[in-house]
Amino acid sequence: MRSPSIHFIGLLSVLGILSLNVQSQSLAGSESLASHIGMETASLLSMKMNHEHNHDDIDIAEHASFENVALRRLQRIKSQSRRHVAVQNTIEKPAAAVSPKPRMIAAIAAADIRQDHKEIANEALMALPSQCRNTLKNFYVKYEKQKHRGLAGRSVLILDGTVPDAEFRALFVHESGHNWDLGCLRGTEDSGKSSFSDGEEAIYKNDPSVRFYQISWITSSVQRSNANPEDFVSGYASYDIFEDFAESFAYFVLQNEVFAARAQENSAIAAKYIWLRDNLFNGQIPQIASGKSVYKGKAPWDVTKLNYTWHPEQFFARNN
């Protein structure tokens, strides 16, 4: 018969070594694992002290071999540098991404206007396609009530600064349409004069905007004979070719869903929608605003007065 005291002492030694091993792992950052194994160790000790075993079934040679394996494992852990163990057991969190601040268009940055208006205008312009973004050279905001809420030419844009922010943004988008139409989309003299003109100044046949004008117009202010009010996104758009362009531009950006719905029922509206999408927006649909207008068979008078929700997160997403 083998001695029970030898077995009991040997078992305690093994459990002590395992406990040290668990503590070494805990130092490396595995506290939950060490706690779990420690509880199991305590449970085994309790069972040993309160339950009588038949020690005839325990082989001392096997027990000694198990102790040697445990000791060698502990020696390997101790021989590792603390830094190395920590690297193995620590999951590094990725550094939080820092969104770069969007650049400000030079003309907007140089404007002698309120900072909040600079930010609204710059955010709106930077959210639009880049091809005509630098057309704007001079930007002004008037802080006394103006006869015209917005004015624009080839490279100049003037807004009324007394209107609410949402209307200010919508006006900026509308007037940017004029900038893009007159200052960015240009034809060349060698292509010849079209039937359209900007006052005394000719608009040439290879000007990209000519195709847009021809949808509803035969001259700058004369509509096609078959045109009707529903062929224009707004009442103001039916005033001349330039307001048709700028109102349609603002409608596409700020009220795209209802514009697309109207395009399903009206071929002229569909042609204008497709032209804007393919010629200015690279075939894409802008996601920077959600229109709240509802079309009930009659066009609104002024697109810039329609309600919409602006999505600044979409603006930042496309500029990061």
- Cβ-contact 272, 233 below 8 angstroms: yes
Which residue has 């009930």 as its token pair? 296
Identity of the residue numbered 8: F
- The Cα diameter of the chain in Å comes to 121
pLDDT at 242: 98
Query: Which residues does residue 223 pair with via DSSP β-bridges, in sequence order?
Result: 217
Nearest Cα to Cα of residue 26 among 35, 18, 14: 35
Which residue has 């973004």 as its token pair? 133
Nearest Cα to Cα of residue 89 among 143, 146, 24: 24
pLDDT at 8: 43
Burial of 151 (0-12, 13-18, 19+ CB in 10 A): middle
170: which 2 tokens?
A: 């919508």
Calpha distance 176→172 (Å, rounded): 6
pLDDT by residue for the chain (320 residues), tens only, comes to 544 444 444 444 444 444 444 444 433 333 344 344 344 444 444 444 444 444 444 444 444 444 454 555 556 545 554 444 344 444 455 555 545 566 899 999 999 999 999 999 999 999 999 999 999 999 999 999 989 999 999 999 999 999 999 999 999 999 999 999 999 999 999 999 999 999 999 999 999 999 999 999 999 999 999 999 999 999 999 999 999 999 999 999 999 999 999 999 999 999 999 999 999 999 999 999 999 999 999 999 999 999 999 997 765 445 54
- Cβ-contact 237, 248 below 8 angstroms: yes
Q: Say how many C-beta atoms besides its own lie within 10 A of residue 46's C-beta.
A: 10
pLDDT at 101: 65
Contacts of residues 37-46 at CB distance under 8 Å and 24 or more positions apart, as own/partner, are: 41/15, 44/15, 45/12, 45/15
pLDDT at 280: 96
Domain limits, the chain? 4-89, 106-318
pLDDT at 92: 52
How far, in Å, are 20, 72, 271 from residue 264 at the CA level? 76, 78, 10
Nearest Cα to Cα of residue 27 among 87, 82, 84: 82
Q: What is the 3-state secondary structure (H, E, C) of 151-185?
A: EECCCEEEEECCCCHHHHHHHHHHHHHHHHHHHHC
50: which 2 tokens?
A: 């309160």
Calpha distance 83→87 (Å, rounded): 6
246: which 2 tokens?
A: 């700028």
pLDDT at 298: 92
319: which 2 tokens?
A: 């500029």
